[in-house]
Structure 1
Amino acid sequence: MKIIRVYINKKITNGFIELDQSQTHYVKNVMRLNIGDNFNIFNENDGEWIVELLELNKKISKVKTLKEIGFKDKPSDIWILFAPVKKLRVDFIAQKITELGARVIWPVITERTQYKSIKESKILSNAIEAAEQCGLTFIPKVNKIENLEYILDNWDHFDSERTLIFCDEKCENNPKKQLESIKKINKSNKWAILIGPEGGFSDKEREKINRIKNLSIISLGPRILRSDTAIVSSLSLFHSTIGDWV
């Protein structure tokens, strides 16, 4: 039987917890739970708990905690910076980043970004949905969309020790060997992957990227990838080479 899991954006402790209207709708109308049924609640701060449904009303419901299960492993300290594409693909991107494992999702605006209307709350909603379905307890932080130029100019302010991994379609190196080599010199174990827009980065953006002190440029293979495919490929490559899969 599939375990029903609900993300709770509030402190979880031993005792009684109220579910809001959206959560109540989910357990009542979507999952068809009844008073006395058990399911799981979780968040990134308090882990996962088994609870019993005690009250079920139209707008709110109440549960009682029965048992603390604990946390799933926190992913490697990796940020994903990407230029948004059309709506459906951004939803897909948020889900896959969460499933594969990252600490931060950061949409960026580049000179060639065409899809600039993006809601951080929607990205977070998709990340939560992916975590609920995949048995995860960690939800990546979703940063407000920002101009790439500003981020690059202030990289040391954001995190001077973090290595930026630039996935460059013009690069021809062996990405696995490149990542393994930079792991030996990166003592902080903090990383960020940068994925460009459709059409790639401008010369000005490339110049700014190349000024980053802790920079590693890698290839994602001989074929040009769509942005969403590049994100999945780069994050899978990272985890299987130097991340939490090894």
Structure 2
Amino acid sequence: MPRTHKSFPRLYVEHSLGKGEIVMLGREQTNYLISVLRMKAGDAVIIFNGSDGAWLAKIADPNRKAVTLELVVQTAHQTPPSDLWYGFAPLKAGRLDYVIQKATEMGAGIIQPVITRFTQVGKLKPEKLRANAIEAAEQCEVLSIPAIPPEIGLDALLASWRPTQGLRRLIVCDESAPSASPVEQLARLDGLPMGLLVGPEGGFSDDERVQLLAQPFVIPISLGPRILRADTAAVAALAIVQATIGDWR
């Protein structure tokens, strides 16, 4: 996106985008632009929908009930969806929001909640998870909103991995593994699609760890000599994967 557009508010919309299109915003986004930012007719915003790139739009009608935008020019072409699968054991509120936001910022294409023995949270609110992903995408110029499937148990995930994920490897952060460089481990992999799984606070149970390590598609990695909080481990692991075999290369 051009540097001259960096200061414009950025909004996700569920509307087809193209030059000359008219987009009417909902109540929440209207309130944000008019009541919070005090924007007026002719002011510019950037909007995106996850499939048509980013567009510069001007406020055509600053109606306090429903702002109308007119699209002017495309500022960024749509990026292809990320192939990075990221699985995590849900955390308590606040830290859960953080993990969803950071996984979105770090380029995950699928964010999969996985229920393990020591998972602290059961039923999730899909609309809240998606809202956190959208907020992170708006703030960090991410053009594709990651998919967030319903939570799945670890047993079911492993049983379905080959039929649904094909040859995709599953990198598992294993706090019980001997301390070693994950960079060296990942650099030796053969370029197949990858998934990343981070366990809950307290780690995987002994039975789960045995089950994971028995899978031919699982690649266990260490995150170093220190025990990390689950949300810290998520960011550290995503950074390592993206830097070694992901889109940071």
TM-score interval for Structure 1 and Structure 2 normalised by the shorter chain: over 0.9
Q: Which moved more, 1:117-126 or 1:82-91?
A: 117-126
User: Secondary structure in 1 aligned to 2:223?
Assistant: coil
In the alignment, the residues of structure 1 paired with residue 77 and residue 113 of structure 2 have an alpha-carbon distance, to the nearest angstrom, of 27
User: What's the CA shift string for 1:100-125, capped at 9, x where partnerless?
Assistant: 11101111111111122321211111
Alignment CA distance shift 1:75-1:231 (3 Å): farther
- Gap regions ≥5 residues in structure 1: none
Could you tell me which amino acid in structure 1 is paired with residue 151 of structure 2?
Answer: I
Matched, 1:118 2:124: yes
Choose which of 145, 149, 162 in structure 2 pairs with 1:143: 149
Aligned counterparts, 1:62-77, within 5 A: 62-71=68-77, 73-74=79-80, 76-77=82-83
Matched, 1:163 2:169: yes
Matched, 1:38 2:83: no
Aligned counterparts, 1:5-44, within 5 A: 5-14=10-19, 15-44=21-50
Shift of residue 210, structure 1, vs aligned partner: 2.3
- Gap regions ≥5 residues in structure 2: 1-5
In the alignment, the residues of structure 2 paired with residue 75 and residue 223 of structure 1 have an alpha-carbon distance, to the nearest angstrom, of 33
**Contact kept in structure 1, 2:51 and 2:78, CA below 8 Å:** no
Shift of residue 133, structure 1, vs aligned partner: 1.2
Q: Percent identity?
A: 40
> Hey, what does 1:54 align to over in structure 2?
60
Could you tell me which amino acid in structure 1 is paired with residue 234 of structure 2?
Answer: I
Could you tell me which amino acid in structure 2 is paired with residue 89 of structure 1?
Answer: R
In the alignment, the residues of structure 2 paired with residue 31 and residue 213 of structure 1 have an alpha-carbon distance, to the nearest angstrom, of 53
**Contact kept in structure 2, 1:17 and 1:63, CA below 8 Å:** yes
User: What is the TM-score normalised by the length of structure 2?
Assistant: 0.91
In the alignment, the residues of structure 2 paired with residue 31 and residue 127 of structure 1 have an alpha-carbon distance, to the nearest angstrom, of 22
In the alignment, the residues of structure 2 paired with residue 76 and residue 7 of structure 1 have an alpha-carbon distance, to the nearest angstrom, of 18
Matched, 1:178 2:202: no
User: What is the TM-score normalised by the length of structure 1?
Assistant: 0.92
Choose which of 188, 192, 196 in structure 1 pairs with 2:195: 192
> Hey, what does 1:83 align to over in structure 2?
89
User: What's the CA shift string for 1:178-197, capped at 9, x where partnerless?
Assistant: 10001xx23x4x21111111
> Hey, what does 2:239 align to over in structure 1?
236
In the alignment, the residues of structure 2 paired with residue 92 and residue 203 of structure 1 have an alpha-carbon distance, to the nearest angstrom, of 27
Matched pairs, number: 242
In the alignment, the residues of structure 2 paired with residue 46 and residue 195 of structure 1 have an alpha-carbon distance, to the nearest angstrom, of 32
C-alpha root-mean-square deviation of aligned residues, in Å?
1.6
In the alignment, the residues of structure 1 paired with residue 78 and residue 98 of structure 2 have an alpha-carbon distance, to the nearest angstrom, of 22
Could you tell me which amino acid in structure 2 is paired with residue 204 of structure 1?
Answer: D
**Contact kept in structure 2, 1:76 and 1:243, CA below 8 Å:** no
Could you tell me which amino acid in structure 1 is paired with residue 18 of structure 2?
Answer: T
Shift of residue 211, structure 1, vs aligned partner: 3.4
Choose which of 83, 90, 99 in structure 2 pairs with 1:93: 99
Shift of residue 57, structure 1, vs aligned partner: 2.4
